[in-house]
């Protein structure tokens, strides 16, 4: 792999972090304005379509219709879409600054699967960065005893579902990039998202008032397109980089930005331990990015899972 292509992953990670971080902070606004989260999912699925069209145009409209590409692509999309649908309901219980730090635990799943099945390896600096990221996640997930939480542990249990889904998705996405193009993967992710849209519609209570104005579906579309672009960048990041590096970076830094913006929106002062977690997350991203710059071309070779 050339040095130019080798650095592509970092550009895609940066765009992904910025877009997903802002998306996470704004995702609750349409629902608070009277637009149901189930319809928010439908809007998100629709925003995936133009993003998929752009991706296919970059690939000269070529789609891989092999069984393995279709299977891995659809599985990647279903995992992501299922996590999205559950996330919308979780955010009805508690604000984003509580949910997203918990979801940032997803690299634990992705990294373990990548190391065990993809046989990915990293240098000492990379492992230190991953360790710092795990420590950051611990601090970010801290909630003081006696905090005002009317939903009890329900929100935490619900948060674990997208955590697991997106953690496995990161592994499957990396595997899929070893057998097909990133554009085909994203196309099947879009298909999976749209296929689940009828389920979201059936779950919608249309007997309740729904805001069909600008602050409803139109505002939701403006917010959800950030996710669509961010997801596309993540697919490309996994193509050029290593899951064991990308997973902790994206899932540590995106929630940090979400938490910061969410705290500003809610006018809440974070706990000192949460601030510590944010600093550690940034440090972990630097360490892991530095490790990838030092690693040689051979370290970026993708192997198929030994299953």
Residue range 243-270, pLDDT digits in tens: 667 766 776 678 778 878 887 887 777 6
Count of domains for the chain? 1
- Between the alpha carbon of residue 172 and those of residues 69, 141, 189, 232, 277, the distances in Å are 11, 26, 12, 15, 28
C-alpha to C-alpha distances, 100 to 24, 96, 123, 171, 196, nearest whole angstrom? 8, 6, 29, 20, 23
Q: What is the pLDDT of residue 290?
A: 57
Q: What angle do CA 224, 182, 286 make, to 5 degrees?
A: 75
pLDDT at 302: 42
Residue 299 banded pLDDT, cuts 50, 70, 90: very low
Report pLDDT for 142. Answer: 65
Q: Could you tell me which residue, 91 or 64, shows the higher pLDDT? A: 64
The confidence score (pLDDT) of residue 219 equals 94
Q: Is residue 267 part of a domain?
A: yes
pLDDT in tens, 168-180: 887 887 788 778 8
Both tokens assigned to 227: 């996710």
* 237 has a pLDDT exceeding 90: no
Q: Is 109 a residue whose pLDDT tops 90?
A: no
Q: In the structure, what pLDDT confidence band is assigned to residue 306 with cuts at 50, 70 and 90?
A: very low
Q: Which domain holds residue 70?
A: 3-295
Kindly state whether residue 291 falls inside one of the protein's structural domains.
yes
Q: Let me know if residue 304 belongs to a domain.
A: no
SS3 220: helix
Give residue 270's pLDDT: 67
Q: Is residue 303 part of a domain?
A: no
* Average pLDDT of the segment spanning 151-159: 70
- Judge whether 253 and 118 are in contact, CB under 8 Å: no
Q: What is the pTM of this model?
A: 0.73
Q: Decide which of 29 and 140 is more confident.
A: 29
Of all residues in the chain, the percent with pLDDT exceeding 70 is 78
- Per-residue pLDDT band at 203 (split at 50, 70, 90): confident
Question: Is 262 inside any structural domain?
Answer: yes
Whole-number pLDDT of residue 131:
80
Q: Which distant-in-sequence residues (6+ apart) come within 8 Å of 200 by Cβ?
A: 38, 39, 41, 42, 45, 85
> Could you tell me the pLDDT band of residue 42, with boundaries at 50, 70 and 90?
very high
Answer with the residue of higher pLDDT: 38 or 1. 38
In a domain, 305, yes or no: no
Higher pLDDT, 179 or 94: 179
What span, in angstroms and rounded, lies between the C-alpha atoms of 286 and 126?
A: 10
pLDDT exceeding 90 applies to what percent of the chain? 16
Give 82 or 139, the one with higher predicted confidence.
82
Assess if residue 259 is contained within a domain: yes
**According to the model, what pLDDT value does residue 221 have?**
94
Phi, psi values for residue 92, rounded to 5° = -80, -20
Model confidence band, residue 50 (pLDDT cutoffs 50, 70, 90): very high
Q: Which pLDDT does position 288 carry in this prediction?
A: 62
φ/ψ bin of 166: left (φ > 0), alpha (ψ from -120 to 50), beta (otherwise): alpha
């Amino acid at each position: 792999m050339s040095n130019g292509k080798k650095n592509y992953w970092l550009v895609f990670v940066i765009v992904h972090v910025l877009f997903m971080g802002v998306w996470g902070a704004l995702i609750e606004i349409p629902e608070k304005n009277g637009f149901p989260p189930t319809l928010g999912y439908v809007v998100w699925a629709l925003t995936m379509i133009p993003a998929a069209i752009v991706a296919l145009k970059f690939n000269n409209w070529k789609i891989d219709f092999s069984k393995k590409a279709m299977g891995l692509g659809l599985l990647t999309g279903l995992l992501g879409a299922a996590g999205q649908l559950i996330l919308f309901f979780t955010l009805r219980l508690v604000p984003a600054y509580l949910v997203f730090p918990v979801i940032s635990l997803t690299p634990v799943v992705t990294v373990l699967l990548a190391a065990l099945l993809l046989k990915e390896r990293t240098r000492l600096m990379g492992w230190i960065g991953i360790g710092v990221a795990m420590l950051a996640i611990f601090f970010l997930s801290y909630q003081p005893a006696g905090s005002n939480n009317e939903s009890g542990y329900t929100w935490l249990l619900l948060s674990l579902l997208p955590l697991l889904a997106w953690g496995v998705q990161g592994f499957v996405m990396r595997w899929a990039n070893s057998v097909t193009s990133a554009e085909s993967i994203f196309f099947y992710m879009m298909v999976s998202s749209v296929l689940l849209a009828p389920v979201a519609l059936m779950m919608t209570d249309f007997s309740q008032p729904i805001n069909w104005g600008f602050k409803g579906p139109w505002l939701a579309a403006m917010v959800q397109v950030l996710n669509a672009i961010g997801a596309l960048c993540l697919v490309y990041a996994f193509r050029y980089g290593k899951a064991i590096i990308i997973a902790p970076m994206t899932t540590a830094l995106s929630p940090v930005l979400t938490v910061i913006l969410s705290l500003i929106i809610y006018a809440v002062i974070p706990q000192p331990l949460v601030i510590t977690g944010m600093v550690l997350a940034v440090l972990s991203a630097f360490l892991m990015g530095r490790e990838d710059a030092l690693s040689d071309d051979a370290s970026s070779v993708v192997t198929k899972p030994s299953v």
